[in-house]
Amino acid sequence: MPPADPMPSPPAAPQPLRRTALHEQVATRLRDMIVHGALRPGERVSEATLCEQLDISRTPLREALKTLAAEGLVELRPNRGAVITPLRQPETLELFETIAGMERIAAEHAAERLSLAELRKLEKLHDRMEACHNAGDLKPYFACNQEIHRLIVAGAHNKVLQSTHGFLHTRMSRARYFALFVPQRWSESVAEHRRIMDALRARDGARAGAELGAHVWRTGQIIAQAVDGLDSVAS
């Protein structure tokens, strides 16, 4: 029995009294470490080191790694240990292209399916995002931006699409984390978001989809460019 949980306690679950399995907590922790660079692209995963850091036995760690491998965050190599998935430009482009496609589909559906409450929430977030842009507050801007994307995908009211998007989103977050912030893209992005909101407001699915897809794809191209040649562990 391991000592007190070395990881942040999970929030109270909607299903009361169900504690989160350790292997899931480990997976969550590792996801964060991968996205935010504590585990670098291409880095060899040392079970022994990680177990020591996290004060757990190898079993939940190994199980967590299987989960993360299925999500594409880790690459398993039989008998040679796992590595953190390298950040490769071609794959980053493909990732953003795929996500752009999915967000486009989501936006098309969302335009028809968003409830009034959801649409109002989006409007509020969008206004807040514009305010952050005007005030030059990047961090809250980015948080609003991400939340808008998430709400649009959720607005499609398709859980399979949402969860599939969620997997890819983790990988996208990592790429964004490693890419440099590009200031000129900021104003473009805000303008594009305006057009997306216009289309959603008008319940114009085709336009919403096209605008959102293009927006994500443009962002992706810039991120992929920034990722190219980044310092990652040789793979």
Partner DNA sequence: CATGAAAAAATTGTATGCAAAATTAAAAAT
Partner DNA sequence: ATTTTTAATTTTGCATACAATTTTTTCATG
According to the binding rule CB under 7 A, does residue 66 interact with DNA? Answer: no
Which range in 18-26, 28-36, 111-119, 120-128 contacts a copy of itself by CB under 8 A? 18-26
Number of H helices, E strands in the chain: 9, 2
CA distance 86 to 75: 9
- Per CB under 7 A, the list member of 12, 15, 79, 229 interacting with DNA is 79
CA distance 173 to 50: 22
33's CB contacts (< 8 A; 6+ apart) are 39
Cα angle 89, 164, 176; round to 5: 35
Residue 102: which of DNA, a copy of itself, none does it interact with, CB under 5 to 8 A by kind?
a copy of itself
The residue among 73 and 82 lying less far from DNA, judged by its C-beta, is 82
User: Could you please report the per-residue DSSP string of 28-55?
Assistant: HHHHHHHHTTSS-TT-B--HHHHHHHHT
According to the binding rule CB under 7 A, does residue 60 interact with DNA? Answer: yes
Helix (H) or strand (E) holding 122: helix 116-135
Name which of residues 143 to 162 contact a copy of itself (CB under 8 A). Answer: 158-161
**Footprint of DNA on this chain (CB under 7 A)?**
1-2, 21-23, 44-48, 56-60, 62-63, 76-82
The residue ranges that bind a copy of itself (CB under 8 A) are 18-21, 23-24, 59, 62-64, 66-67, 69-72, 76, 78-79, 91, 94-95, 97-98, 101-102, 104-105, 109, 158-161, 163-164, 167-168
